[in-house]
């Protein structure tokens, strides 16, 4: 049970300061720390330096001879993976929270900093420090939204924790890595998940309202790699909706905040290990990025089954179509230009002929890069030269998007 006020509880959520309001900000928690000015150097949305950070964290930058590193960042190996016994209430099979449990069980860390569901709203993430392995079960599953997890680093240090693990989404992990050496911990393990198309929990409730006339009964939602959204309900029923049949046109144009349309690190390139699904063809997809990532995966021993990721289909046409739709949407949501009668057929066809496995993951990373360039150009052109790393420009070049005057350093 999450305790807001009790550091001795298995899952503790200390109170944190109110944030300073900022323009492009996902409230990762830095602005609530004792020195909010650290945002200037820590923020992914101000002046990120991915090559320098990759060098520091992984000992090298992306290797041009390994073409997938241009999409996914440095990695030692990529694998398809699943827990042999999937964990109840996990988003996929629970690899992420099981790693947290193992770190606590083996005494490798004093605490895991991650998100639990807010007791007042199960879809709202609430930052917590988990100090006992059994507490990780409460954190399973994905919640839509962001919350100030890094603000708990200072309370963690004040409690005397010296070795911690952080589970986080890319905008949180970038800031964590920037500050890592000043935080005073002996060791920080970083478990990242990919993240895209996030929105505030309040907006997300509006989406749930469109998906069901009993939105409170939805317990699970995932945008799967087979072009379907999976919904699970309290009575055990499961509903699968093809992406093309989602009520996207009914969402307000600002449903996705500008942060989440323009962030530049879909696959959490500065984590020791990234635990996602989009290259996994129905299973999970791990990117082991450095030696510490190997240690984290080893903690799972033979509880996890691993295999080679597959890849099929061609991404160029869907990415071109996406670019056209983002341009046509002129800042709104890119609704696919297609007659309604064709949508069910295309929804059936896409999982069979569209990009699959690693090609699906490459397509999604390219689409995100396209969005970053087009949305910043439209709304924050002055930010482009500092915010867009070279690898993003390289990803969009095949689609005819190149930096214009003043857009690149
Ligand atoms: C907003 C969002 C968007 C995502 N989009 C993608 C995507 O496009 N492609 C992809 O491959 N993967 C994506 N993921 C990751 C994916 O949903 C799974 O979380 C991941 O694959 C791990 O599955 P699991 O079964 O191992 O996780 P579990 O063992 O169930 O653990 C999930 C972990 O995620 C943490 N978490 C849950 N919600 C949040 C949140 N809002 N912010 C920070 N941490 C949170 C939990 O605290 C827990 O530690 C996204 C995650 C989030 C939060
Ligand atoms: S570092 Fe975090 S809190 Fe600061 S501006 Fe960036 S996202 Fe917001
Ligand atoms: S989409 Fe990007 S900016 Fe938004 S919460 Fe995820 S990592 Fe952060």
Tens of pLDDT along 53-87? Answer: 999 999 999 999 999 999 999 999 999 999 999 99
Q: Which residue has the higher pLDDT, 187 or 245?
A: 187
Of 13-17, 63-67, 254-258, the one with minimum mean pLDDT is: 13-17
Distance (angstroms) between ligand 1 centre and the Cα of 401 equals 30
Q: Hey, which of 22, 143, 169 would you mutate to test ligand 3's pocket, going by the most ligand atoms within 8 Å of its Cβ?
A: 169
Nearest CA to ligand 1 atom 36: 142
**Does the pLDDT at position 337 exceed 80?**
no
Is residue 263 in contact with ligand 3, taking CB distance under 6 Å? yes
Give the mean pLDDT of the chain: 93
Output the ligand 1 site: residues, CB below 6 A: 90-97, 114-115, 125, 139-146, 167-169, 193-196, 198, 275-278, 284
State the residue for tokens 């720390």.
33
Q: How many domains are contained in the chain? A: 3
Distance (angstroms) between ligand 2 centre and the Cα of 179 equals 12
For 207, other C-beta atoms within 10 Å of its C-beta total 19
Helices 316-329 and 358-379 cross at an angle (nearest 10°) of: 20
Same domain as 339, residue 267: no
Same domain as 83, residue 111: yes
pLDDT at 342: 58
Please name which of 99, 138, 92, 134 lies closest in space to residue 115, comparing C-alpha atoms: 138
DSSP string, 143-186: -SS---GGGGHHHHHHTT--EEEEEE-HHHHHHHHHHGGGS--S
Same domain as 304, residue 160: yes
pLDDT at 139: 98
Residue 52: give the domain boundaries.
Answer: 2-199+263-308
Same domain as 408, residue 277: no
Confidence of residue 339 (pLDDT cuts 50, 70, 90): low
Q: Which ligand 1 atom is at minimum distance from the Cα of 97?
A: 29
Kindly report the CA angle at 322 between 243 and 329, in degrees rounded to 5? 95
Q: Hey, which of 17, 19, 24, 30 would you mutate to test ligand 2's pocket, going by the most ligand atoms within 8 Å of its Cβ?
A: 30
Same domain as 292, residue 208: no
How far apart are the C-alpha atoms of 77 and 54, rounded to whole Å? Answer: 16
Taking the CA of residue 46 as centre, how many other CA atoms within 13 Å lie in the half-sphere pointing to its CB? 14
Nearest ligand to the C-alpha atom of residue 260: 3
Distance (angstroms) between ligand 3 centre and the Cα of 235 equals 31
Same domain as 390, residue 350: yes
**Does the pLDDT at position 293 exceed 80?**
yes
Of 12-21, 27-36, 302-311, 384-393, the one with minimum mean pLDDT is: 12-21
How far apart are the C-alpha atoms of 27 and 314, rounded to whole Å? Answer: 37
Distance (angstroms) between ligand 3 centre and the Cα of 169 equals 7
Kindly report the CA angle at 288 between 114 and 97, in degrees rounded to 5? 30
pLDDT at 243: 83
Q: Which ligand 3 atom is at minimum distance from the Cα of 260?
A: 4
Please name which of 13, 6, 39, 47 lies closest in space to residue 389, comparing C-alpha atoms: 47
Q: Hey, which of 28, 46, 195 would you mutate to test ligand 3's pocket, going by the most ligand atoms within 8 Å of its Cβ?
A: 195
Distance (angstroms) between ligand 3 centre and the Cα of 265 equals 8
How far apart are the C-alpha atoms of 25 and 16, rounded to whole Å? Answer: 17
For 148-186, what is each residue's pLDDT tens digit?
999 999 999 999 999 999 999 999 999 999 999 999 999
Looking at 189, 224, 255, the residue that finishes a domain is 255
Q: Hey, which of 17, 20, 22 would you mutate to test ligand 2's pocket, going by the most ligand atoms within 8 Å of its Cβ?
A: 22
pLDDT at 281: 92
Helices 291-298 and 95-105 cross at an angle (nearest 10°) of: 90
Same domain as 316, residue 214: no
Looking at 189, 223, 255, the residue that finishes a domain is 255
**Does the pLDDT at position 349 exceed 90?**
no
Same domain as 136, residue 42: yes
Same domain as 204, residue 164: no
Predicted TM-score (pTM) of the model is 0.94
Same domain as 193, residue 67: yes
pLDDT at 352: 64
**Does the pLDDT at position 3 exceed 90?**
no
**Does the pLDDT at position 205 exceed 70?**
yes
Are the CB atoms for 1 and 137 separated by under 8 Å?
no
pLDDT at 23: 82
pLDDT at 295: 98
Same domain as 34, residue 143: yes
Bridge partners for 98 per DSSP = none
Write the burial class of residue 258 (CB in 10 Å: 0-12 exposed, 13-18 middle, 19+ buried): middle
pLDDT at 19: 79
Same domain as 225, residue 91: no
pLDDT at 222: 94
pLDDT at 220: 96
Write the burial class of residue 306 (CB in 10 Å: 0-12 exposed, 13-18 middle, 19+ buried): middle
């Amino acid at each position: 049970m999450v305790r807001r006020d009790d550091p001795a509880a298995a899952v503790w959520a200390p109170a944190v300061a109110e944030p300073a309001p900022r323009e492009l900000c996902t409230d990762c928690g830095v602005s609530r720390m004792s020195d909010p000015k650290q945002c200037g150097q820590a923020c992914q949305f101000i002046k990120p330096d991915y090559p320098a950070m990759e060098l520091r964290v992984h000992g090298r930058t992306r290797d041009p001879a390994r073409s997938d590193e241009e999409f996914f960042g440095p990695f030692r190996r990529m694998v398809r993976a699943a827990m042999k016994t999937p964990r109840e209430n996990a988003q996929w099979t629970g690899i992420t929270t099981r790693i947290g449990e193992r770190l606590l069980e083996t005494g490798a860390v004093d605490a895991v900093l991650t998100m639990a569901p807010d007791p007042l709203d199960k879809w709202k993430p609430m930052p917590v420090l988990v100090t006992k392995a059994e507490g990780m079960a409460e954190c399973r599953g994905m919640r839509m939204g962001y919350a100030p997890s890094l603000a708990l680093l200072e309370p963690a240090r004040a409690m005397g924790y010296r070795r911690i693990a952080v589970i986080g989404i890319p905008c949180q992990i970038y800031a964590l890595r920037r500050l890592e050496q000043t935080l005073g911990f002996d060791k920080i393990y970083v478990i990242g998940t990919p993240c895209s198309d996030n929105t505030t929990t309040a907006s997300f409730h509006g989406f749930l309202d469109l998906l069901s006339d009993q939105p409170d009964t939805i317990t699970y939602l995932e945008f799967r790699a087979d072009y379907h959204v999976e919904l699970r309900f309290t009575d055990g029923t499961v509903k699968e909706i093809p992406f093309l049949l989602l009520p996207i046109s009914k969402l307000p144009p600002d449903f996705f905040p500008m942060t989440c349309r323009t962030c530049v690190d879909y696959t959490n390139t500065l984590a020791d290990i990234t635990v996602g699904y989009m290259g996994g063809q129905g299973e999970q997809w791990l990117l082991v990025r450095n030696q510490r990532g190997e240690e984290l995966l080893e903690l799972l021993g033979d509880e996890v089954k691993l295999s080679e990721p597959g890849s099929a289909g061609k991404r160029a046409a869907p990415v071109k179509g996406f670019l056209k739709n983002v341009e046509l949407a002129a800042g709104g949501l890119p609704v696919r230009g297609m007659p309604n009668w064709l949508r069910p057929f295309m929804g059936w066809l896409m999982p069979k002929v569209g990009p699959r496995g690693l090609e699906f993951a490459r397509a999604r990373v390219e689409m995100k890069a396209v969005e970053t360039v087009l949305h910043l150009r439209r709304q924050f052109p002055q930010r482009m030269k500092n915010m867009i790393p070279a690898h993003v420009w390289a990803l969009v070049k095949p689609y005819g998007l190149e930096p214009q005057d003043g857009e690149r350093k």
